Amino acid sequence: MKILVCISNVPDTTSKINFTDGDTKFDTNGVQFVINPNDEFGLTRAMWFKEKQGATVHIATVGGPTVEPTMRKALAIGADEAFRINTEPTDGFSVAQQLAEVVKNGGYDLVIGGRESIDYNGGMVPGILASLTNMNFINSCINLDIDGNNVTAFREIDGGKEKLSSSLPLVVGGQKGLVEESDLRIPNMRGIMMARKKSLSVLEPVDAIKATEDKKFDKPASKGQVKLADSVDQLIDLLHNEAKVI
Amino acid sequence: MSVLVYTESEQGKFKKNALEVASYASAVAKMMGTTVTAIAFNTTEGESLGEYGVSKVMNVKDGSLETFNAGAFAASIAEAVKSTDAKVVILSSSTDTKYLAPLLAAKLSAGYAPNVVQAPDSTSPFMVKRTAFSNKGFAHTQIDTDIKIVGVSNNAFGAHENKTAISVEEISGAADAATNDTKSVEIDKVVGKATIADADIVVSAGRGMKGPENWGMIEELADILGAATACSKPVSDLGWRPHGEHVGQTGKPVASNLYIAIGISGAIQHLAGVSASKTKVVINNDPEAPFFKAADYGIVGDAFEVVPQLIEKLKDFKAQNG
Ligand SMILES: Cc1cc2nc3c(=O)[nH]c(=O)nc-3n(C[C@H](O)[C@H](O)[C@H](O)COP(=O)(O)OP(=O)(O)OC[C@H]3O[C@@H](n4cnc5c(N)ncnc54)[C@H](O)[C@@H]3O)c2cc1C
């Protein structure tokens, strides 16, 4: 089986969010970048397939040279080969078009992306990619088993989960649940050394439609002081008479 | 040309978010000087959308579409977009619509903006405000394609009555031209209980509860309030609660009217997922817990004392206030 994992390079989950250039750009100053957590679950599931069932695992990222440390980390975790599409990711639609080229040329059976990236929260790359490549698609996937060409998967639904059947080739929008949290891997020294020797190819982008553009950003209004209640009675009173939520 | 809205239903009945998206579509149509057409699947109550500004419902009557199927639903919605010459498509931000929206976007070569929190800033150019950075910021996103798809956040816009003359037309489902053999095998879902996605009130608890055996009081509190239950990430990682209840940056977003956090410290990743909730209440025995900085109301105290009291007092309160 040939697997491609799409990796988004995102600010670490503890990052404080600030904007520059008249609130038109995300301020990367002092921000640590990591593998998007939803993608990390997918990458780990791909490693599981590689180790238990035999698979080749490639990764692809759309971005400039600054994303390479994140890609090296994915290689250190165990991916075999990496592709960087050399253009700044602007919107989900164009990112999906760039990745679709890699998928079409690579003959992948399974493509795993994250349900959404935790920075721009577009939630569209895996689905658009599936459509552009005529592959089946399962979103918010929390469990994935493959037997030959047959896929059994679970996806999260509001209030529960749904079991699905499908077949390869398939695109998955993954998230927590694809593997246990405790199975996520931290690259070890050997992995890091090996990652240096693995192939990281730089591909030039294709022409793509840019469908959306984030023109401006702002932050939620800052909160007033918390009101501490001395008693449960007072809390109920505040919620009923002041906040009017009960 | 009209605004097309996809209104979700379950067993024929509209979900709460259907009325919100219909209201949103009606606001957009007003800005654009046009009308709203809704597409629904196997609904039995199409006419009720007239209360929320919809003037026509296309009800897909098709037994094979009784359960949600992203590919097939996207194909039918795309057909409806074409037949109504819609330039704007409005959807909710439920898990199902987030599954079908990208498929629809690809079919229509349309730009898609999810998690939209208010009526468009402008319709020409078409610009919407949506949450980004997992609720730590907002983006004003311009959609540049001919057809625009907007996913409205739950609870953000509300349902607004706006009585309109309505007609309901039954149509059949479109064949999904793409090779899509993904099928539902089984649905495992809590019925008759509020879900995190559309509950007005969410009662959430964290590692401070010490163990899964102590969740009885959390569920009882939720029951009294008609609330959904939720939890912090370590709680679901430890297997104390199901994964689907984990809220936060890597879990579910919550945009309820009232969010009660019990024994949750308020780590930045947790706060990110709940900051869209309107009123936040914290119960924590540590006055320095970061959640107090993000909360509207709080009680510093031991959950094992406060929650049982809250249950008793709320029972009395409900008895008196209906
Ligand atoms: C990549 C990444 C992603 C993450 N994503 C998420 C996410 O989406 N959602 C999420 O929740 N977390 C997430 N986390 C984890 C997050 O950083 C915190 O570890 C987590 O939110 C802490 O959960 P907690 O508050 O339940 O537990 P703790 O941090 O252990 O806090 C427990 C709280 O309970 C209080 N307490 C203890 N006993 C009592 C008592 N008897 N009565 C009252 N209060 C009591 C304590 O004072 C404390 O404040 C993520 C972490 C990482 C690294």
ipTM: 0.97
Beta strands in chain B (DSSP E): 3-6, 9-10, 13-14, 36-41, 56-60, 88-91, 111-116, 122-123, 126-132, 137-143, 148-152, 167-171, 183-189, 201-205, 228-231, 258-262, 279-284, 297-300
**Is the torsion defined by CA of A100, A102, A104, A107 positive or negative?**
negative
Average pLDDT (A209-224) is 93
- Over 60: is that where the pLDDT of B136 sits? yes
pLDDT in tens, B259-277: 999 999 999 999 999 998 9
State the pLDDT at residue B321. Answer: 87
- Going by pLDDT thresholds of 50, 70 and 90, the confidence category of residue B178 is low
State the pLDDT at residue A222. Answer: 84
- Over 80: is that where the pLDDT of A52 sits? yes
- Over 70: is that where the pLDDT of A225 sits? yes
Give the one of B114, B142, B278 whose C-beta lies nearest to A122's C-beta: B114
Chain A residue numbers touching B190 (CB-CB < 8 A) = 159-160
Average pLDDT (B130-145) is 96
Chain A residue numbers touching B131 (CB-CB < 8 A) = 121
State the pLDDT at residue B182. Answer: 94
Give the Cα separation of A171 and A108 in Å (integer). 10
Closest by CA position to A17, among listed B232, B118, B131: B131
Place of tokens 């957590």: A37
- As given in the structure block, the two tokens for residue B89 are 């498509």
pLDDT in tens, A105-128: 999 999 999 999 999 999 999 999
State the pLDDT at residue B191. Answer: 81
pLDDT in tens, A132-175: 999 999 999 999 999 999 999 999 999 999 999 999 999 999 99
Mutational test site, ligand 1, from B249, B269, B282, B283, max ligand atoms within 8 Å of CB = B269
State the pLDDT at residue B13. Answer: 96
Q: What are the residue ranges of helices labelled H in B129-207? A: none
Average pLDDT (A74-80) is 98
- Going by pLDDT thresholds of 50, 70 and 90, the confidence category of residue A9 is very high
A217: part of which helix (H) or strand (E)?
A: strand A212-218
**Interface contact flag, A229 B297, Cβ < 8 Å:** yes
- Going by pLDDT thresholds of 50, 70 and 90, the confidence category of residue B117 is very high
Helix, strand, coil shares of chain B, percent, nearest 5, are 35, 30, 40
Closest by CA position to B38, among listed B21, B10, B58: B58
State the pLDDT at residue B238. Answer: 94
Chain A residue numbers touching B198 (CB-CB < 8 A) = 158
Ramachandran angles phi, psi of B52, nearest 5°: -115, 25
Candidate from A64-78, B4-18, B183-197 with smallest mean pLDDT: B183-197
Mutational test site, ligand 1, from B243, B249, B254, B281, max ligand atoms within 8 Å of CB = B249
Determine the number of helices (DSSP H) and then strands (DSSP E) in chain A. Answer: 6, 15
Ramachandran angles phi, psi of A43, nearest 5°: -60, -40
C-beta separation of A141 from A157 below 8 A? no
State the pLDDT at residue B181. Answer: 87
Average pLDDT (A179-196) is 94
- Over 60: is that where the pLDDT of B179 sits? no
Tell me the pLDDT of chain A averaged across its residues.
97
Closest chain B C-alpha to A47 CA, distance in angstroms: 20
**Interface contact flag, A226 B257, Cβ < 8 Å:** no
- Over 60: is that where the pLDDT of B256 sits? yes
- Sequence-separated (6 or more) residues with CB below 8 Å from residue B36: B2, B3, B4, B5, B22, B25, B26, B29, B53, B54, B55, B56, B164
State the pLDDT at residue B104. Answer: 98
Q: What percent of chain A has pLDDT over 70?
A: 100
Give the Cα separation of A73 and A237 in Å (integer). 52
Following CA atoms B318, B232, B190, B69 in sequence, which dihedral angle do they give, to the nearest 10 degrees? 130
Following CA atoms B280, B286, B287, B288 in sequence, which dihedral angle do they give, to the nearest 10 degrees? -90
pTM of the model: 0.95
pLDDT in tens, B58-103: 999 999 999 999 999 999 999 999 999 999 999 999 999 999 999 9
State the pLDDT at residue B88. Answer: 98
State the pLDDT at residue B177. Answer: 62
A25: part of which helix (H) or strand (E)?
A: strand A25-26
Identify the closest residue of chain A to B151 by CA–CA distance. Answer: A122
Beta strands in A124-205 (DSSP E): 136-147, 150-157, 160-167, 170-174, 199-203
- If you ran DSSP here, which 8-state letter would residue B247 be given? B
